[in-house]
Amino acid sequence: MTVEQTWQIEAVAELKATRIDGCRACGSDDLLPVLDLGDQPLANGLRAARDLDRPEPRFPLALVRCASCSLVEILDSVPPEALFGDYPYFSSVIKALVAHAHALAVENIDRFDLGPDSLVVEIASNDGYLLQHYRDAGIPVLGVEPARNIAPVARERGIPTRCEFFGSEVARQMAVEGIQPDVVHAHNVLAHVPELGSFVDGLRTLLQGGGVGVVEVPYVKNLIDDCEFDTIYHEHLCYFSLTAIDRLLRLHRLELERVERIAIHGGSLRLFIRAAGLARPDRTVRALLEEEDEWGVDEPAAYREFGDAVMAMKSSLRAMLEELKRDGARIAAYGAAAKGSTLLNTFEIGAETLDFVADASPHKQGHYMPGTALEVRPPEALVEERPDYVLLLAWNFADEILSQQDAYRAGGGRFIVPVPEPHVL
């Protein structure tokens, strides 16, 4: 463990969550309860063996909905430096995510007629998993990545990267430096931003020259319809409908031009955004806004039903696992992801049920899951140990994981998928 990591653990132990007194998007104090998951550890707070006897901080994790703009958000913010300063999530480890990024880059190069004189910027660019595809096509790129351990990895891979938390000040500095992108990507970062106004203002600054923002966010309707409660954790401050996004963008003189529903991360929205007055909205925007209105995006009923469904899932999954254990089954889990931490800690599933957690990321192996202290081991452990069942915590990449585990499955191993209802494959 590095000195910096040791300092970070001690610093996190001293942190206090900050409770918002108004909506992060519109400022309204009319925040309606949706779901309370109690006090939870930081979902990506994997621990080294030497840290297991240290106190593990926990922070409130309660979901609310703004009655004014319909943004769904958590009440308490943990300082982003504690969440993202040293980050264990390397996007390039996930082959499906890299393939998703490649397909999008190829599509955008054609759609926006990009070439050697263009510039593509990504906010929260991680290890360059997306920008590498533009670079390989001869298009200049620039990443903005706050994680101190990840930005150098991107640079080593040939992706110019600024190690900064993006916001209005960083965007203004980039503009002063003459940075005028044709495309600005922001994938799965908008949900992580405590200062939404500053982030969106910064996006507008980068797009003032006529560029287009390509933003992806998990879709709150999939969260509700498919009971994807395990995507709720302290890093994910906000959960977006198109209605909430449209209202947020208009507050900051930005406009939606197009929206696509995509399958990644259990169901997401891909948004194409331009500065006000430059967008030419197509029918996809109005169609989805109307669909959300019919669904009841501004009404409390669907959100109440979601909370009830989570508690029903807890009962059914625990009952299934308890029955398997009574019958003598050995059970492991797959996916040391943040969503896995939320599920295990919310449903109170730990070492009494699971032997270990497998994960393909070498950055996570040898560490221990937050809250449960389950050891994270390489995927090969499934074949070596031969548990009878594996609880698939990373269900959003089920196809990739199942295809990688042919040997385990051929030997009789079976996977339990918890979402939207527990079932065995």
Write the DSSP assignment of 280-308 as a string of letters: ---HHHHHHHHHHHHHTTTSSHHHHHHHH
Q: Per-residue pLDDT for 413 more than 80? A: yes
Rg (CA), the chain: 21
| Dihedral sign, Cα of residue 11, residue 12, residue 13, residue 17 | positive
DSSP alpha helix (H) spans, 57-190: 80-84, 95-111, 131-136, 151-156, 168-176
Query: 228 and 153 share a domain?
Result: yes
Q: Per-residue pLDDT for 8 more than 50? A: no
Query: 262 and 348 share a domain?
Result: no
288 inside domain: no
Q: Per-residue pLDDT for 4 more than 80? A: no
Pick left, alpha or beta for residue 5 (phi over 0 → left; psi -120 to 50 → alpha; otherwise beta). Answer: alpha
Higher pLDDT, 373 or 266: 373
Q: Per-residue pLDDT for 282 more than 70? A: yes
Q: What is the pLDDT of residue 33?
A: 94
Query: 227 and 322 share a domain?
Result: no
Single out the residue in 229, 247, 279 at which a domain terminates. 279
CA distances from 356 to 228, 287, 334, 359 (A): 23, 45, 8, 10
Higher pLDDT, 397 or 74: 74
399 inside domain: yes
Cα separation of 154 and 158, whole Å? Answer: 7
Query: 161 and 111 share a domain?
Result: yes
Query: 351 and 412 share a domain?
Result: yes
Cα separation of 48 and 164, whole Å? Answer: 27
Q: What is the pLDDT of residue 88?
A: 54
- Taking the mean position of all CA atoms in its chain, how far away is CA 303? 20
Mean pLDDT across the stretch 3-13? 42
Mean pLDDT across the stretch 173-192? 95
Confidence of residue 93 (pLDDT cuts 50, 70, 90): low
Q: Is residue 230 a contact partner of residue 342, using CB atoms and an 8 Å limit? A: yes
**156 phi, psi to nearest 5 deg:** -65, -25
Mean pLDDT across the stretch 149-153? 88
Q: What is the pLDDT of residue 89?
A: 56
Query: 170 and 31 share a domain?
Result: yes
Q: What is the pLDDT of residue 421?
A: 86
Cα separation of 374 and 331, whole Å? Answer: 12
334 inside domain: yes
Q: Is residue 164 a contact partner of residue 181, using CB atoms and an 8 Å limit? A: no
Query: 206 and 123 share a domain?
Result: yes
Q: How many CA atoms lie within 13 A of 79 on its CB side?
A: 11
Cα separation of 337 and 417, whole Å? Answer: 15
Q: Per-residue pLDDT for 287 more than 70? A: yes
Q: Is residue 207 a contact partner of residue 254, using CB atoms and an 8 Å limit? A: yes
Q: Per-residue pLDDT for 350 more than 50? A: yes
294 inside domain: no
295 inside domain: no
Query: 134 and 89 share a domain?
Result: yes
- Taking the mean position of all CA atoms in its chain, how far away is CA 133? 21
Of residues 368, 372, 373, 377, the one with CA closest to residue 408: 377
49 inside domain: yes
**pLDDT tens, position by position, 205-219:** 999 999 999 999 999
**pLDDT tens, position by position, 220-246:** 999 999 899 999 999 899 999 999 999
Q: Per-residue pLDDT for 87 more than 60? A: no
Q: Return all residues near 99 (Cβ < 8 A) that are at least 6 apart.
A: none
Mean pLDDT across the stretch 326-341? 94
Assign 102 to helix, strand or coil.
helix
The percent of residues in the chain predicted with pLDDT above 90, rounded, is 69
Confidence of residue 396 (pLDDT cuts 50, 70, 90): confident
**pLDDT tens, position by position, 301-314:** 989 899 889 999 99
Assign 218 to helix, strand or coil.
strand
Q: What is the pLDDT of residue 142?
A: 97
Mean pLDDT across the stretch 272-287? 93
The model's pTM is 0.84
- Which CATH number characterizes residue 194's domain? 3.40.50.150
290 inside domain: no
- Which CATH number characterizes residue 409's domain? 3.40.50.720
Higher pLDDT, 342 or 87: 342
Number of domains in the chain: 2
Query: 141 and 260 share a domain?
Result: yes
Q: What is the pLDDT of residue 369?
A: 95
Query: 209 and 157 share a domain?
Result: yes
Q: What is the crossing angle of helices 242-251 and 196-207, to 10°?
A: 70
Q: Return all residues near 98 (Cβ < 8 A) that are at least 6 apart.
A: 91, 92, 129
Q: What is the pLDDT of residue 20?
A: 92
The percent of residues in the chain predicted with pLDDT above 70, rounded, is 93
Q: Is residue 215 a contact partner of residue 270, using CB atoms and an 8 Å limit? A: yes
Assign 58 to helix, strand or coil.
strand
184 inside domain: yes
Q: Per-residue pLDDT for 417 more than 60? A: yes
Of residues 89, 394, 74, 90, the one with CA closest to residue 236: 74
Query: 307 and 263 share a domain?
Result: no
Confidence of residue 263 (pLDDT cuts 50, 70, 90): confident
Mean pLDDT across the stretch 364-380? 94
Mean residue pLDDT across the chain: 90
Higher pLDDT, 285 or 395: 285
Mean pLDDT across the stretch 46-67? 92
Query: 274 and 311 share a domain?
Result: no
Q: Per-residue pLDDT for 6 more than 70? A: no
Mean pLDDT across the stretch 404-417? 90
Residue-range definition of the domain harbouring residue 379:
302-424
